[in-house]
Amino acid sequence: MSTTEQVVRTIAETAIENEKYFGDLDSVVGDGDFGYSLARGFEKLLEGWDDLDRTDDGTFLKRTGMVIASRIGGTSGPLWGTAFIRAGGAAGDGVVAMLRAAIEGIKARGQSDVGDKTLLDALVPMTDRLESELGRGASTEEAIRAAAASAREAADATSGMVAKRGRAAYTGERSRGSVDAGATAVAVIAERISETWK
C-alpha cells in the first residue's frame, strides 16, 4: 500500500470510529448529521477499496474524492470530495502542494475562508505548520506531529468564533462557545495520522 493509500485509509477509519463524537459536536449548533454523513461516505469508500483505480496517487485521490462527493450527504460531501479531487490534481508536487490545492478547492466550493468557523480553521494552520517544519529540515514524522498539534490548537480555538457558514451560521452568537465539528475532525484525523505514521 502506498503512503497516500495508507493516509486515506487512516482518514476513512478515523471518520468511521468517531461518528458519534463528530455528530455530537455538530448537534450543538448544527443539524447533528456531520458524523453520520462522514462515516457513511467513508464506509462506502472502504467497501469499494479494492476496486479504486491506483494507476498513480493523483488518480487514486481523484477517484476517492468522487466516491466521497457522491456518497456523503449535506454540504460535507461536496467539500470533502472536492478536497480529495483537488489534492489529486496536485499529486506529484508534494504533500504541502496537495493540501494547498485541497484548501483552495474547499474555499471555492464552500465560499468560505479562515475565520468562518469551518474545517479551514484547522486545515490551514495545520498546512502552514507542516510547510514551515519541512522547510526548516524537520523529519516527516516530526513535521506531522507538529502539524497535528497546530490543528488541535486551531480547532480548539474555534470555540471563540461565531459561525459564518453552514447550518451553525443561523445560530449567530449562540455558535460561540462550542468548537466547530469540521475543524475538530481535521484535528482528530491529523492526530491519528501522526500516531500511525511509519
Task: Note the pLDDT tens digit of each residue in 141-163.
Answer: 999 999 999 999 999 999 888 77
Express each pLDDT in 44-65 by its tens digit: 999 999 999 999 999 999 999 9
Q: Which three cell numbers stand for residue 1?
A: 500500500
pLDDT tops 60 at residue 170: no
- Checking if the pLDDT of 182 tops 90, the result is yes
Question: By CB neighbour count within 10 A (0-12 exposed, 13-18 middle, 19+ buried), where does 13 fall?
Answer: middle
What gap in Å lies between CA 28 and CA 139, rounded to an integer? 38
In this prediction the pTM is 0.93
Predicted confidence band at 5 (pLDDT cuts at 50, 70, 90)? Answer: very high
Q: Are 38 and 186 in contact (CB under 8 A)?
A: no
Rounded mean pLDDT, 11-35: 91
- Mean pLDDT score of the chain, rounded to an integer? 92
pLDDT of residue 160: 87
> Taking residues 171-183, what's their average pLDDT?
78
Model confidence over 69-122: pLDDT tens digits?
998 877 788 999 999 999 999 999 999 999 999 999 999 999 999 998 999 999
The answer to whether 114 touches 120, Cβ cutoff 8 Å, is: yes
pLDDT at 193 over 80: yes
Report yes or no: 123 and 85 within 8 Å, Cβ to Cβ. no
Q: To the nearest whole percent, how much of the chain has pLDDT over 70?
A: 94
